[in-house]
Amino acid sequence: MDLIPHITRTGYDVSTLVAARKLLFVGAISVCIAVLGLLLWFKAEMFNNVGPHPSNWAGYDALNFIGLFSFGVFSTLGVSLLYVGTSTLACIHGGILGLILMGMLGLVFVVLGGLGAVWGSETMQCLAVFCTGSTASTNRGGRPEAGVAFRSGLGLAAFLSFVPIGVVILFQAARRVFGVDPFWTGHKGRRFVSDRFAPLLRFLFAVAFVSFWAVVSLYMPNSLESFLPVRIARNARMLSSHNYTLCRTEPHTYTCPDLPWSWIRTRNLVINDEVVLKAYPSNLIFYGYLFVILLTTALIRSFRYGRRFLKRRCPVLRDYTYGEVGFLFLTFSMIVLFFLYWIQGHNFKQRYTDISNDTVSSERWYRSMGQLAVAFLSLSIFPVSRYSVLHSILGTSWESSIWVHRLLGYGALLGIVGHAIGWYVRCFELGVFPQGIFSIPAVDPPGNRDDYTIPLITLTTLFSLVSTIIFALEPLRRRFYELFYYAHIVTFYMLVPVVLWHAASAWEYFLPGLTIWFLDWLLRIYRRGSTVDLVSATASGSFVEIRFRHGSLGALPGQFVFVNVPNISLLQWHPFSIMCEHEGYYLLYIKSMGEGTWTEKLGKLVCRRGLKFKLYVEGPCGRALDINEHQNILFVAGGIGITPCASVYSHICDRMALGLRSPTPMLLWSVRDRELLLLMSQLWQGGDLSAVSTSSTIEEAPSDRIQVFFTGGCNVEDGEYTCVVNERMDIFDRIPQVIAGKDPRTVLLFACGPPGLVELARSVAHSLGVDFHQETFLL
């Protein structure tokens, strides 16, 4: 859920106050439902009945399950809404009262995290990963091990999430008092290209991060229900074996994870008597893939030619660069090997022994498809982090990686559907279809009657399929983007904990990406707490120009920010390209997208209230263009797509004026709105880069660095703009003319605008053999 930073009282209206109170009320109701649901779940027998238990014992009933499901649905949603409502009220009231509210909010999160540490004391006493060698028993009176594991896991999750959130909020409150941002120094001192050793440090950090999770996954239990000290220690001591007699007779000492005919087998790496790393093939394939991606990309990008090579379009797959093709090849290879091991070589539930072979084809298929879904879901988390260090290493950015998230999401959907169908087939084989699918408690067989995660994952998956299939359809997503986005977020909050608890080994692949996402999320909260001072706001026709000061934003030319105006909506954040002026001052150009849209409401707000509204900015996002990679940069813009082009163009001109090494910039802009021409006039005013002229046809146009193609239906007055041509721009004709005589290897074509214009520019760039860069116009 998008969260709102603290702000001052000035600029708020009654509607904002009412909206904040509504969110606070809905959040409070949601939290109450979640707490009641959790209390109802804790009344289940698995938390209170030590046993002995009959063979058909489940440990919970339908009423207990309703409580668990209610907790899963409303807990994260309620906490998010409470944060939004409370922090917004604190900003509205301002002063000492607002500061007290912010401080109390941060303390509440820290206290809740502390209570989580108490709940999870069994595992917290050794922080889970350091429980090797533990002999402490967890089977205490009144609480079977399953109940202890759930309570301990919930407490551990609360501690690791609520405490960092609370600390970030307290930092925001402290910054409000002292007016100092300890983590940001603003634009001053920042360079357009990263420092020399920064890429190496990022790479070493990423390798250490992946290595940590890779090692931990080789000795920890594969199920969260076993995350208890004695179980963790026992699993760390176990040896992998291919002697199935030993695995049957000494199950606490030996494990046989592979079938005899597996094409790859688990090996042991004995550290000491207490820690044995078991090199499971699936883990080696998954983490080996991550290491290969990091190492190969970092090595290639350490050379200038390598960086340019990765960005060039593949002649066979013209829609993809060489870097993207390489990524797709490595990902496809990993997925194939990963799935082949699970379907062909893994010994599920130790069903194969020296005296029996209980493996069933349908069971192997649905379990393998489930693991495939887990792999895709795990990978799909990485691209959605906006400020991840991985983007710096791989040379990518959040907006340019959205297609990867979608592609991996489709793969996860394939795995989920395959897993469900295989499960249904197995239920049919056992004669329990369809009652075995939706029964609460679960039917035994094919599942275990005490496995409450089976009905839980069934209901959660049905909700996920609706939000990801129906709402994600292009027409619906474009028309009702907010519905799609928040359904997507709620689904994520519901699905991740359920999958982690339901799927064996899921945590081994989920937690690296989930950790990066959570750290990124904390950084987003903190960045949204910075002060934004409005300098000017002008509405002209369907366009709005906003100038603001943000001392710690530090945006670079070509980047963009997410903007929120609480006078319109407390929850909506929209991305816009940003233009950098002098230090700490920035410009936004926003076009209305039609009646009833957020952008249209912003235009009306500016006309009605001038500067008397609040603006919040999160960013900067996107990867800044390395201008020194090319000798010539040709910008091709359409309409409002001029914003990132103008930002980088102006920056290059500023560098040229200072005598710094810079490429030669050229700009072709097709525009039909006279108001936008007026707003962007600073591009050519005050400079002598080219003579100002007006032409009626393309043949008469001089070869200026800025050429504007006006299609607004009436001629532009002479002397107002640099080379204005009153007709449509013929890309196939104009681009070759502009770059004629230049070595194609030294030219970058930078395009931003409507999809049709960008695709034409891409085709021309490919035919001329020049490098191409596309700014994402629609997310």
Residue 621 bridge partners (DSSP) = 560
Confidence of residue 356 (pLDDT cuts 50, 70, 90): confident
Give pTM, 2 decimals: 0.90
Rounded distance, CA 6 to CA 364, Å?
Answer: 52
The tens digit of pLDDT for each residue in 99-117 reads 888 899 999 999 999 999 8
Interatomic CA distance for residues 126 and 135, integer angstroms: 12
Contact 618, 585 (CB under 8 A): no
Output the CA–CA distances (angstroms, integers) from residue 431 to 57, 130, 434, 595, in the order listed. 21, 45, 9, 56
- Peptide bond before residue 557 is cis, with ω within 30 degrees of 0: no
Residues 6+ apart with CB under 8 A from 761: 636, 731, 735, 749, 751, 772
Look at phi and psi of residue 753 and say left if phi exceeds 0, alpha if psi is from -120 to 50, else beta.
left
Determine the pLDDT at residue 479.
77
Partners of 26 in the beta sheet?
A: none
Q: Tell me which of 55-59, 327-331, 394-398, 538-542 is least confident.
A: 55-59
CA distance 14 to 542: 26
Residue 585: HSE in the Cβ half-sphere, 13 Å Cα cutoff: 6
The pLDDT value given to residue 719: 44
What would the pLDDT profile of 650-699 be if each residue is shown by its tens digit? Answer: 889 888 888 888 899 999 999 888 888 888 877 665 443 333 334 444 44
Angle in degrees, 0-180, between the axes of helices 62-93 and 95-119, rounded to the nearest 10: 150
Residues in the chain: 779
Domain 533-621 top-level CATH class: mainly beta
Least confident of 79-83, 128-132, 507-511, 741-745: 128-132
The helix (H) or strand (E) run that includes residue 205 is: helix 198-216
State yes or no: pLDDT of 585 exceeds 80.
yes
d(CA 765, CA 763): 5
How far is Cα 123 from Cα 182, in angstroms, rounded to an integer? 34
pLDDT of residue 721: 43
Biggest alpha carbon–alpha carbon distance for the chain:
94
Q: Is 545 exposed, middle or buried (0-12, 13-18, 19+ CB in 10 A)?
A: buried
Query: pLDDT for 374-427, tens place per residue?
Result: 999 999 999 999 998 899 899 899 988 999 999 999 999 999 999 999 999 998
Once rounded to an integer, what is the mean pLDDT over residues 427-455? 81
Integer CA distances (angstroms), 201 to 129, 195, 629, in order: 25, 10, 22
Six-digit token string for 355: 């005296």
Compute how many other C-beta atoms are within 10 angstroms of the C-beta atom of residue 96: 8
Per-residue three-class SS string for 151-162:
HHHHHHHHHHHH
Provide, rounded to the nearest whole percent, the portion of the chain with pLDDT above 70: 89
Burial (CB count <10 Å: 0-12, 13-18, 19+), residue 513: buried
Q: Would you state the pLDDT for residue 147?
A: 78
CA-CA distance, 346 to 396, in Å (whole number)?
A: 35
If you ran DSSP here, which 8-state letter would residue 319 be given? Answer: T
Judge whether residue 125 has pLDDT over 80: no
Residue 302: CB atoms within 10 A of its CB come to 12
Q: Three-state SS for 285?
A: helix
**Could you give the 3-state DSSP secondary structure of residue 695?**
strand
Listed residue (238, 236, 270, 268) closest to 251, CA to CA: 238
Cα separation of 670 and 712, whole Å? 10
- Residue range 627-774 in CATH 3.40.50.80: yes
Name the pairing type of β-strands 664-671 and 632-638: parallel
Helix (H, G, I), strand (E, B) or coil at 140: coil
Query: For 21, what's the count of Cα atoms within 13 Å in the CB-facing half-sphere?
Result: 7
Of 50, 152, 169, 189, whose CA–CA distance to 98 is shortest?
169
pLDDT band at 438 (very low <50, low <70, confident <90, very high): confident
Q: How many CB atoms are located within 10 Å of the residue 740 CB?
A: 8
In angstroms, the CA 351 to CA 545 distance is 67
669: β partners: 637, 708
Cα 360–363–368 angle (5° rounding)? 125
Task: Give yes or no for residue 582 having a pLDDT over 80.
Answer: no
Contacts (Cβ under 8 Å, ≥6 apart) of 39: 67
3-state secondary structure (DSSP) of residue 270? strand
Give dist(CA 429, CA 437) in Å, integer. 13
Query: What pLDDT is stored for residue 136 in this prediction?
Result: 56
- At 602-639, the pLDDT tens digits run 999 999 988 888 888 998 998 888 888 889 999 999 99
What is the pLDDT confidence band of residue 485, given thresholds at 50, 70 and 90? Answer: confident
Query: What Rg value do the Cα atoms of the chain yield, rounded?
Result: 29
Average pLDDT of the chain is 85
State both tokens at 243: 């002697």
8 or 274, greater pLDDT: 274
pLDDT digits (tens, 9 = 90+) for 693-742: 344 444 443 346 788 888 866 655 544 445 676 678 888 889 999 998 89
